[in-house]
Amino acid sequence: MRISANLLVGRTPLALPLAALLWSLAAVLVLVAVVLMVAALDMRAERPRLEQRLARVDEQLQAAAPRNGLPPAAELAALRQRVTALNAYASARGASTVRILGWLEGHLPDNVYLVSLHHKPREGDLLLVAAAPSAEAFTAFLRIIEKEPWFSEVLLSKQAVRGQEGGGGLQFELRVRPKS
């Protein structure tokens, strides 16, 4: 009796592609390891420079730190009162002249002309001298000023008829006070 046995297993059809995949995976892993090693060496070389920079920043923080604490509460309160008094003294009542001129530029009707403007911000006085060709144009401008929320009082001081050689018309003087 004869027994024939074959102890070698035949190749499977996926063995060659699987071996190629494993070898390429191993090559990629070796390449990644080399890149990581180079990055680690770069970081190691950069570390002394970063430590020096961190030491400089620490020195700057210590130099910028306040050497003494805040003054006592009573001294802070007195300082606040002085600042408030200075601000009240320095600030003008009402709107600034620039703001008033800007408002006039936007709200002055086309047929009303500004002749002069005298503004006393500390007293809160504004004197407008304007000219209009008719009473209707003047009335329209007066209504616009009276509707403005930051004016509390609008008074017509003078009204005069201009000469006929310039085409006639009215010249009026308004005294305006801002709201306090």
- Is the pLDDT at 147 greater than 80? The verdict is yes
Give the start-to-end residue ranges of the domains of the chain: 15-63, 97-178
Q: Which band of pLDDT confidence, cut at 50, 70 and 90, is reported for residue 43?
A: very high
Q: Which amino acid is at 140?
A: A
Q: What DSSP element (H or E) covers 151?
A: strand 151-161
pLDDT tens digits along 5-26: 777 766 677 878 899 999 999 9
Question: Mean of the per-residue pLDDT values for the chain?
Answer: 85
CATH architecture label of 97-178: 2-Layer Sandwich (3.30)
pLDDT tens digits along 52-103: 999 999 999 888 877 777 788 899 899 999 988 877 766 655 667 888 888 8
The pTM score is 0.46
- Is the pLDDT at 165 greater than 60? The verdict is no
- Bridge partners (DSSP) of residue 153 are 177
The whole-number pLDDT of residue 167 equals 58
- Bridge partners (DSSP) of residue 174 are 128, 156
Spatial CB neighbours of 142, under 8 Å, sequence gap ≥ 6:
154, 156, 174
